[in-house]
Homo-oligomer: A and B are copies of this chain.
Amino acid sequence: MAPAEPNALAFRPKGEPPVFEEERKGWKGYIEWEKYPEKKKQAAEILKKYDFPVRHQPPEFQLQPLPKTNPILTGERWKQYHYAMGPNLEKLPDKSWEYVKRRSPRTLSTCSSSLITVNRRGYVSHKRLVESEITPNKDHFVRNHGGIPEIDPQEYTLDISGLVKNPKRLTLADLQNEDLFPRQTNTVTLQCSGTRRMEQIAVYPGDGDELINAPWAEGAIGNARWTGVSLKKVIKHCGGLVDGADNLEFYGADTYFKKGQAYNYVVSVPWRKVKANEVLLAWEMNGEPLPKIHGFPLRTVVFGYIGARSCKWLYEIKGIKGPSQAPVQKKEYLYYTPQVGKQNAMYSNGFSIQDMPVSSAIMSPTDMDQIVHDGSVKLKGWAYSGGGRWPVRVEVSGDGGSVWYEVSPENMSTKYFHGWRLWEIEMPVDAEGWLEFCVRCWDNALNTQPTFVRSAWNWDLHVTSSCHRVKIYSMNRSRPQTAARLKLLEEKGMSILPITQPLEIDLETDEHYDEAMEAMGGRDPKE
């Protein structure tokens, strides 16, 4: 896909282009919004002049059959927001796309809400994602909300501000100074709350605003070893929180647009979570410097939470009372009941997604696979639970969720408090035809998954935690009739695949048919 042309798709700037200056030397693509209410107001007034495309954007395919090929969601609306904001912002979509292209050739990924390449099965090849317990950096899913800032590490600082006793500005060197802060490495799975969203979309369409952002399948999850310092130590270094502060707000240098306003990416986590040493300020991912697309030079990694709280290109941490009032925290990542939708959704009647629930997926075989086997089929996948709970048991059903088989513990990868476990099982499969395999995980707190997508469908199509299902067409060669048919096709040089291709040969000889009819007493009763 060629990078988008600025002003493509009939975008016309209205009036003299505004200039929003980059905030700091050595920080490309970082516009500071949160410190300047007047600038925010100016941006809102500019955005108000435009009639950005909504109705004809991709979300509408929700009400139509799913596209035959993977749709490219080019994010026209998001690009046009940038084009409207003048020279420093209009280049960001293209620049960001360049970073996406540097990732694994086989890894399709998303670099922002605008540049999403949808693969119905996820952004990385299915089988590849479960090849190793640790996900290689180039294969790790990416979900950004704005363009990718480029920050010179020499010019990098982090402000600790707000309700802390001694606000400080720290350099990267300060944070990496082991005399000040003990270094820490943890294996942590990050997951987009949109993982497996396609399953929800496929049965019931929801809010289009969410769809264009990340219509993921099972691939929006990855497991990495992150190195940095515990945020708790940094807060202690600043004398601790004051005045009843109970949350920490994270500021990302990326620009985030929402309903006609420009913001920086801002989220928060409770102090309680930080105190448990479950929030890392990380500069390394799997022993390498944090890739730019993953937040270089510094990001938070919040263990067991929705990926959205693991703020990238972090430039400020603020002590606050209550959760952040910023839109990503207050107005996004809300989980509704199935009866809430466009007609009645508010921010207060959804609950805020922080801790992630138990979930799992079958990554091999994949949906619609047609398998010739001799009485058993190997399945592979992942299982995860958030909030410090871990997968204890994985069960697979070959009949849609009635009879379950346990994965042997020796066929599950290492246990971590905050990491996924890969699993595999050789499932006995006697039945033929279309079977519905599904998987569920039990975590150490005995949580398990809802059985059907409908059981936990929600308007923004977040957190698809129902049992993951794949349909496979089973052909069991240990059954004589099937063995005979397969042998015949082989002799004739014909393939059983795809199963929907009609057989050109007769299905039975007249002699065999007559014998069978004789044996069953003909089609109709005699009397």
Contacts and interface: CB of A to CB of B under 8 A. Distances in A.
A501 interface: yes
B207 A502 contact: yes
Nearest to A341: B433
Contacts of A63: 368, 498, 500
A34 B60 CA distance: 53
A54 B372 CA distance: 22
A20 interface: no
A63 B366 CA distance: 12
A368 B63 CA distance: 7
A60 B523 CA distance: 33
A259 to B, nearest CB: 6
Given A270-B524, A323-B523, A352-B523, A482 B344 contact: yes
Interface string A197-218: 0000001111111010000000
B347 A502 contact: no
A348 interface: yes
A481 B339 CA distance: 12
Given A54-B501, A432-B341, A512 B322 contact: no
Interface stretch (A164-172, A378-386, A503-511): A503-511
A346 B507 contact: yes
Interface in A458-480: 459, 471, 473, 475, 479
Interface string A418-454: 0000000000000111101000000000000000001
**This chain's copy number in the assembly:** 2
A392 interface: no
B516 A205 contact: no
A338 interface: yes
Nearest to A77: B502
Interface stretch (A64-72, A187-195, A224-232): A64-72
A508 B347 contact: yes
A445 to B, nearest CB: 17
A59 interface: yes
Contacts of A512: 346, 348
Contacts of A347: 507-508, 513
Given A205-B500, A322-B517, A346-B481, 13 more contacts: A60-B498, A61-B68, A63-B500, A65-B65, A68-B68, A205-B368, A208-B501, A208-B502, A323-B524, A330-B513, A339-B431, A343-B486, A344-B485
The 3 closest A-B pairs by CB, nearest first: A348-B516, A209-B502, A346-B508
16 contacts: A59-B502, A60-B498, A61-B68, A65-B68, A260-B504, A272-B524, A338-B433, A340-B432, A342-B475, A344-B482, A346-B508, A347-B507, A348-B512, A351-B523, A433-B459, A434-B457
